[in-house]
Amino acid sequence: MYPFYHQLVSICGIIYINFMIKELILAIILGSLLGLGVTGGYLALHKKDIKNNPSKQIEITTPTSIPTTTISETPKQPSQISISSPENDALISTDQTTIKGTTSPNSLIIITTASQTFSDKSDTKGNFSVSIKLDSGINFIKISAIDQTNNQFDTTINVTYSTAKI
Amino acid sequence: MLFIVFLFIIFNFSVHQTLAVTATPSAETTQDIVDLVQQKVKEKLNLINTPSTQPKAFIGNITQIDQTQITTTFQNKAQTISIGESTVYIDIKKLKTKFTNLKVGQTILSMGYLNESNGLDAKRIVIIDPKSTENTNQIVTGQIVDISKSSPIIVIIPLKDKNNQYQIKTDSKTEITNLSGKKVTSDSLSSGKKVVVIIQPDPKIAKTFYATKIISLESATSVSPTPTVKP
């Protein structure tokens, strides 16, 4: 058996700890309530903004989504001229080929070989497709696009027409 | 106390729901970007790594020759041409010739297929005269600053380079059209009008050009509709 004063100290200790635990729990609850109240109040105030402006919502959560939105929504506005077909240095076995490419919308397209000139217009998206006749052997093809404000963009491709078997 | 716990649960639930709604689209968008980039990179890598199945023809001046390959340059770009026993050689007169007749400085047109190291496995090599294949046409967008009524000469200042000017001769073969491609007469050309000219240098007179085609950039004047008489 423990002496009486030992039991008294233990009881006092337990009472003291009980008080501390109660204070601790109370502090946690009050802190949580305060934090939740502030957060809840903020969300309640901005709920309308988040619903009405989804891009802002994405912007807040993942800023990386912004460039994708920009890329998909920005219309293509090529400032120059690019040729998709035929490839540069292509070897073709027929004397006809079609020059396909992209430039500004509604541009005047002029294509020259050493012996001939061809002209057409790009469509509203800037695409063009012009059939041309090739000279025998190598063709240094000059292609120019003149846009609606009379800016001229030039490019060249080399295409060889040969019927020789390789 | 129970009320507080209840409030806490309700609040937690609503926050989780809000976060779930906001996070889902962004995660999908990010995944879409990653997928798209991966797909594009794969396509480009395939293009780079796969030897072309399309035949190619390279023009260039011979800078080096050895037993298995020729090096050519064209517009400061070097190209390696691999040769083999089956390679056919054609001289400037379009007759078959031998590999030994190839010399440094000659211009050749090499035809064949690209190999993995982007060299050309040549099947046919033709010695050519570079001048005979030259495209001397020039396409110039400019403004007419002078047009002679007595002689077929027009003077044009290019829009790109206003310090320059072109003396351009025309004749009956010169095709003159409007923007729609419709043929018009030379009377429709006048000082101040903007045109695109396709010209070739006159071999006899320096700084003088001959126009093969002139396209007027001025839009056609609007024609008022002719009234029709109704019976």
Contact B155, B167 (CB under 8 A): yes
The token pair at B11 is 């609040």
Q: Is residue A166 part of a domain?
A: no
Contact B29 A65 (CB under 8 A): yes
Contact B57 A142 (CB under 8 A): no
Percent of chain B whose pLDDT exceeds 70: 78
Pick the CATH number of B138-216 from 3.30.1330.180, 2.20.28.160, 1.10.3720.10, 2.40.50.320: 2.40.50.320
Minimal CA separation from B22 to chain A, in Å: 7
Q: Same domain, yes or no, for A94 and A146?
A: yes
User: What confidence score (pLDDT) does residue B231 get?
Assistant: 39
Residue in chain B lying closest to A62 (CA): B26
Contact B198 A60 (CB under 8 A): no
- Residue B194: name the closest of B152, B158, B153 by CA: B158
Confidence of residue B173 (pLDDT cuts 50, 70, 90): very high
Q: Same domain, yes or no, for A131 and A67?
A: no
| A27 touching chain B per CB within 8 A | no
Confidence of residue B49 (pLDDT cuts 50, 70, 90): low
Contact A108 B217 (CB under 8 A): yes
Task: Give CA–CA dist A93/A33, Å, rounded.
Answer: 81
- Residue B170: name the closest of B191, B192, B142, B149 by CA: B149
Q: Is residue A22 part of a domain?
A: yes
- Report the predicted TM-score, pTM, of the whole model to 2 decimal places: 0.66
Residue A53: which residues within 8 A CB-CB, separation 6 or more? none
Three-class DSSP category at B166: strand
Minimal CA separation from B88 to chain A, in Å: 9
For residue A35, list chain B residues with Cβ-Cβ distance below 8 A. none
Q: Please give the residue range of the domain that contains residue A25.
A: 4-73
For residue B217, list chain A residues with Cβ-Cβ distance below 8 A. 108, 146, 150
Q: Encode pLDDT of A145-161 as tens digits.
A: 999 999 999 999 999 99
| B217 touching chain A per CB within 8 A | yes
Q: Same domain, yes or no, for A35 and A64?
A: yes
Residue A24 has pLDDT above 50, yes or no: yes
ipTM of the complex: 0.73
Residue B164: which residues within 8 A CB-CB, separation 6 or more? B157, B158
H/E element, B107: strand B107-114
Q: Which residues 112-131 of chain A have a CB within 8 Å of chain B?
A: 112-114, 117, 119
Higher-scoring residue by pLDDT: B189, A77? B189
Beta bridge mates, B40 = none
Q: Encode pLDDT of A1-19 as tens digits.
A: 455 566 666 665 666 666 6
Confidence of residue B224 (pLDDT cuts 50, 70, 90): very low
Among the candidates A46, A73, A100, a domain finishes at A73
Per CATH, the number for B56-132 is 2.40.50.140
Contact A158 B59 (CB under 8 A): yes
Among the candidates A19, A43, A73, a domain finishes at A73
Residue in chain B lying closest to A120 (CA): B181
Among the candidates A73, A93, A116, a domain finishes at A73
Q: Same domain, yes or no, for A88 and A67?
A: no
Select the residue of A54, A61, A91 nearest B56 (Cβ to Cβ): A91
DSSP string for residues in B21-46: HHHHHHHHHHHHHHHHHHHHHHHHHH
- Residue B190: name the closest of B140, B134, B147, B128 by CA: B147
Name the segment(s) of chain B with CATH classification 2.40.50.320. Answer: 138-216
- Residue B140: name the closest of B152, B163, B158 by CA: B158
